[in-house]
Chains A and B, each alone.
Chain A
Amino acid sequence: MTNPTEDDLKVIADQVWSSYLDLDGASPLVPLPHEKPVDDVTASVSVTGAWRGHVLVSCSEAAAKHVAAALLGIEFDDVAEEDVADALGELANIIGGNVKSLLPEPCALSLPHVHVDGANGRYPSVTEVCHLEGTWMAESVTVTVLESTADLAGAPA
């Protein structure tokens, strides 16, 4: 089994968007980097077991609110902070679960974590496996897979 690739992330993202965020096919995630990639909001799930690392979904605040509005069926202006955490966390859970299916078994998936102050420094001792930069509704969305480079005791492998 090999590591997931950007193409794998595209397939997974297409399935997620067509199932929940782009039901009529009018607003797909376009796999082109946004001119200003931002990570105002990041939701992540961790994978432990035969493979260890993290799957991150990062996006602009506006994109996060669009996700919440679409999943919860509410207006953009009515989206509250807890709506963003719930919706983006579930998005990371679904994408992370599908990434996990590409990894060696056995692995376990954590519950999602959502933070709004950037991802820098939150994931020490990792190396990037792949990432997908996209634009959705004119906003930045990025999916990143990070593999841990530390052993279970925390020392570099």
Chain B
Amino acid sequence: MLTMVIDDSRAMRLILKRIVAQLGFDVVEAGNGQEAMDYLTTNVLEGGGEIPGLALVDWNMPEMNGLEFVTAVRAEPRLRGMTLMMVTTESEQSQIVRALASGAHEYVIKPFTPDAIIDKLALLGLVPNGVAA
């Protein structure tokens, strides 16, 4: 599955990339929501390329934050197949509700363990149950 890892920290992108790569997912990285939208516009909407099945999305990023990205993706019917998981330090209940109401499917709070990510992917049916170590 093609997966977008969207975070302004290269270190965090690498951590997430390692987790999903071990599941056999292919990864495209973006440093903020705008970069991710640019990729989707150029390669998917205009280029006819593969629609990512999953995006792991940070919240606090420059240019376009994660919530704005989720809203933008949800506004594009051709991207409705993308599963969106917020991976963020925003841990207040009100923020979680806001993200889910905007169209995120799942929510993981930093810091996280690899198993926390994989468990959420299993809940979404993207990996078999019991994959986590």
Contacts and interface: CB of A to CB of B under 8 A. Distances in A.
B60 to A, nearest CB: 6
A94 B89 CA distance: 6
B34 interface: no
A89 B14 contact: no
A103 B10 CA distance: 28
Interface string A83-110: 1001101100110111011000110011
Contact of A15 (B8, B14, B62, B111): B111
Contacts of B8: 111
Contacts of B92: 100-101, 105
A90 B88 contact: no
B106 interface: no
B71 interface: no
Interface residues of B, number: 21
Contact count band on A: 20 to 34
B108 to A, nearest CB: 11
Contacts of A100: 89, 91-92
Given A86-B9, A105-B94, A96 B113 contact: no
A79 to B, nearest CB: 11
B82 interface: no
Interface of A: 15-16, 18-20, 68, 71-73, 83, 86-87, 89-90, 93-94, 96-98, 100-101, 105-106, 109-111
14 contacts: A15-B111, A20-B15, A90-B9, A94-B89, A94-B110, A96-B89, A97-B90, A98-B91, A98-B111, A100-B92, A101-B91, A101-B92, A109-B89, A111-B61
Interface of B: 8-12, 14-15, 18, 60-62, 88-92, 94, 110-113
